[in-house]
Amino acid sequence: MLTFEQKQEIIESFPELTRKEVSMKRVNYHYEDSVLDKTVVVQHLHPNGNAFVYVAGLPGYSADDRGLVNVREATEEELRKTIADSIALLSKEEEEAETPAVEETWVNGEGVELKLVEEEGAWNIYHGLNLEESFGNYGYAQSYLKDEQFTQVKE
């Protein structure tokens, strides 16, 4: 795990971020040029190494209901990528932010195939043409599939 100082050095290598002290020796880093109301990229970097990065709606991240992903155990490469993805998210105009729908294939041990599709901000799981489940974020959908013993097919 990277130390507080190492994470701080990585974060501060992004010149577009502004450091702001918060309570209990924690630090936030803001992207002041954000086109969204949200400006915090890194939230609550703590001396114990814990921190959160804003990635709401970005595929491949298991964000919480606030759109944050914990980066406590992130490697340097993962932390850099997550921060860069967050800045890119906050840099995009609303119409530019629309990306092609994400579609993933998941299978279980019996060969049953499900599709995980991002549609209009929801993560829907389909069995054929039938909607199986719908979730508000990717992390919940991913957890559901894993709990049901499905694994993602890498394409």
Same domain, 144 and 75: no
At residue 99, the pLDDT reads 55
Task: Give per-residue pLDDT as tens, 18-52.
Answer: 999 998 999 999 999 999 888 999 999 999 999 99
Same domain, 81 and 16: yes
Which range of residues forms the domain containing residue 141?
103-153
pLDDT confidence bin for 95, thresholds 50/70/90 = very low
Kindly list the distances between the CA atom of residue 5 and the CA atoms of 26, 35, 49, 114, 115, in Å, as whole numbers in the listed order: 12, 29, 8, 43, 42
Same domain, 48 and 72: yes
Q: Is the pLDDT of residue 96 over 70?
A: no
Q: SS3 of 140, please? A: helix
Same domain, 51 and 117: no
Kindly list the distances between the CA atom of residue 131 and the CA atoms of 101, 109, 123, in Å, as whole numbers in the listed order: 16, 21, 11
Token pair of 24 as six digits: 């209990």
Same domain, 71 and 144: no
Q: For residues 113 and 105, is the Cβ–Cβ distance under 8 A?
A: yes
Token pair of 69 as six digits: 């992903």
Same domain, 116 and 93: no
Q: In which residue are the tokens 């340097």 written?
A: 76
Q: Tell which of 72, 97, 122 closes a domain.
A: 97
